[in-house]
Structure 1
């Protein structure tokens, strides 16, 4: 593949104790050329802070993604935010991180927020900021190049003050937070896992009663990674060879789902399939092995469970229970782990032959249950920010 990179980004917030709304807000936007991450921390906590941070992050992400200059964006924020009737000021800190896929150029802007943590090769790197005054606000910015395996983290001040007045007299502080992250980048391989780890540490330091809204937005730079998934024989048997040739010509990991699909591939390639008979999870059929294929699983039941795991992850990507599901040792979890953590580009090869065993009598005759599940998975992976293509046979 090309030397283009991909941005694996996630965030998690802890609400201030007793507050129903978080005063921090994160926006993550991806286009085909770049990724934009914005973290905003509203003045105070609760409803007012939530309104301030939401307005700030929405304005920034919308304007920057549509080509507006930083000067125009900050000026708009200054003249748009409502004034707090108690403090007589409109105030919301923010951090902006924009990364170009093709050039690896990163642009970081910060206003009154903790410095971005930048980790390369397990070491905390120093960024050479330049100070500017825009619309009366002291802004600092820096441009730099990123590379594969770099990790960056945007923080609200609730992170560096975690434990203040309790387990830690003066809080966790930036140096300790950055050192903690640097010590775990090799073991926590995705942004979601790093984000979860850091937020759990903050929650522990607050003794599960956060004294301030606490937010971590983590970005990990990864290379483009292709995965191809083949499920279902073609509607016309004459297309069997064409489907297998197209599937095997792709780069990256290869997954085959379904007994009919596996048998078809073995017949065309003259290879053997070996089924593993140990049931790790009685609800998910066992996997099999075929030479040259990274993962071979059963069809409908496994794909349905895969879609459930992916959906649960998208609903809450930093939930420890969901991450534990991805780590389970069965076919559906293995597919989910590959698709969510080892894939940026997914190619679906879908045979449209209808298997009578998969047909629901309550559905139209031309609508296969497996096709519905694959269509659901297609949408979920697009929602996950992956580049998804599909071919029907």
Structure 2
């Protein structure tokens, strides 16, 4: 599942629709494979349906060609000659930025009329050479540079640098101000960086964005493996076997489930200390067991984590991640701290979950975990499931 000692390319993106618009005029497409990471952000002229269609056309053409191995030159030429030009304003109907990173972390960036990318290393902006090229009479900027662990690149639409114009700020949140903001961020994940940037833009707009506003961040991180054991093995005679196999895994270790925690306590001969502190009355308290980063109750806690993940793409979640209940702590580990996740799922059925008086949505733990993994895949997490 994990290639040891190989940096992880962490990616996250967020968008705000222009006020009163159902569709975003920006479009972001992301592709990752063993060989390449490709990101395309396009900003359609104007807003609404027309802008969305034009931005989608741009991202689909670029990503499809690059995925199929076409050269950057051929891809750019095709995109530039496909995009129509506004006859009134004499500008293309869509601007775009492309980031391509190979397996050796060599990065190539293509920029066409989008705000210049932000390249941050050690809390300082990195200056790099940009080569001007012309396709169909239109200027495109091309640059290449190697990336190191800890570096991050943020690509935005112009809604970011226009944030607050005519409202809080006279001239908007200018590029230099955004770069200062990003250089101050001491955050672990691409998701945290991008979310904070977009949340700040939304505040500057007074929660009524005057333009479609999008950002995507790529951060080169050291891999962080998180192993989660939930539910007793189907065959109780194998409790000892799986307990010791799990303890030998590389990375952080988490237990979700009271019965599971008791099995580990028994097999490892370590005391399980259960807290009586209900920081949230709707979430069972956590426990402590030597060798584990977190021990929580099972289905109720997992269901709350799922709810938080479903909300997190559309709502500001800062308050949630600072709570101390088991669900909030697990949510923060899964979303912000992990890059690779391995779930060990016990197939033994908890009789309580089959009780007809028990809430129906909690009846099958496995389905809850599957839904959690589907949500986490939206954040480009590397996930494996092991049923025992």
The reply to whether TM is greater than 0.5 is: yes
* More displaced stretch, 4-13 vs 268-277: 4-13
Q: Contact 1:52 / 1:82 at 8 angstroms: preserved in 2? A: no
The gaps in structure 2 that reach 5 residues or longer are none
Relative to structure 1, the CA distance from residue 306 to residue 212 in structure 2 (aligned partners, 3 Å threshold; closer, same or farther) is: closer
Residue aligning to 1:294: 293
TM-score by length of 2: 0.90
- Find the counterpart in structure 1 of residue 179 from structure 2: 178
- Pairing 1:331–2:330 present: no
Alpha-carbon distance between aligned partners in 1 of 2:373 and 2:29, rounded to the nearest angstrom:
23
Alpha-carbon separation, structure 2, partners of 1:24 and 1:299: 39
- Structure 2 equivalent of residue 193 of structure 1: 192
Q: Is the 8 A contact 2:81 2:136 kept in 1?
A: no
Q: For the structure 1 residues 19 and 302, does the alpha-carbon distance in structure 2 shift closer, same or farther, using more than 3 Å as the test?
A: closer
Q: Return 5+ residue gaps in structure 1 as ranges.
A: none
CA distance in 1, matches of 2:227, 2:252: 6
Residue 60 of structure 1: CA displacement? 1.2
1:23–1:41: 8 Å Cα contact kept in structure 2?
yes
C-alpha contact (below 8 Å) 2:233/2:348 kept by paired residues: yes
- C-alpha displacement at 1:267, in angstroms? 1.4
Instruction: Report the count of equivalent residues.
Output: 383
1: CA distance, partners of 2:369 / 2:160: 40
C-alpha deviation, 1:87, in angstroms: 4.7
Paired residue for 1:54, among 53, 56, 61? Answer: 56
- 1:293 and 1:209 map into 2 onto residues whose CA distance is 44
1:345 aligned to 2:347?
no
2:276 maps to 277
What's the counterpart of residue 153 of structure 1? Answer: 154
Cα separation, partners in 2 of 1:390 and 1:162, compared to 1, 3 Å? closer
On the 8 A contact 1:360/1:369 being kept in 2, the answer is: no
Q: Which residue, out of 364, 368, 380, partners 2:375?
A: 380
**Partner Cα separation in structure 2 for residue 309 and residue 16 of structure 1:** 25
Structure 1 residue 11, shift from structure 2 partner: 2.4
SS in structure 2 of the partner of residue 250 of structure 1:
coil
Normalising by structure 1, what TM-score? 0.89
What pairs with 1:61-76 in structure 2 (closer than 5 Å)?
Answer: 61-76=63-78
Q: Is the 8 A contact 2:189 2:337 kept in 1?
A: no
Give the distance between the partners of 2:334 and 2:310, measured in 1 at CA. Answer: 12
Q: Quick check: 65-74 or 14-23, which moved more? A: 14-23
| Equivalence for 1:371 | 366
| Residue number among 30, 43, 46 corresponding to 1:44 in the alignment | 46
Q: Give matches, 1:1-393, under 5 Å.
A: 2-82=4-84, 84=86, 87=89, 90-100=92-102, 102-183=103-184, 185-186=185-186, 188-313=187-312, 315-316=313-314, 319-320=315-316, 322-361=317-356, 369-393=364-388
Displacement of 1:88 in angstroms is: 6.6
Q: Report the CA distance shift for 1:228/1:167 in structure 2 as closer, same or farther (over 3 A).
A: closer
- 1:294–1:44 Cα change, 3 Å: same
1:323-363 residue CA offsets vs partner (Å, 9 max, x unmatched)? 42233211111111111111111111122112212215599
8 Å Cα contact 2:125-2:179 kept in structure 1: yes
| Contact map agreement 1:107 1:144 (CA 8 A) in 2 | yes
Instruction: Flag the 1:327–1:237 CA change in 2: closer, same or farther, 3 A.
Output: same
1-structure distance, mates of 2:78, 2:17: 28
Is the contact made by 1:309 and 1:326 (CA closer than 8 Å) also made in structure 2? no
Give the Cα separation in 2 of the matches to 1:206 and 1:136: 35
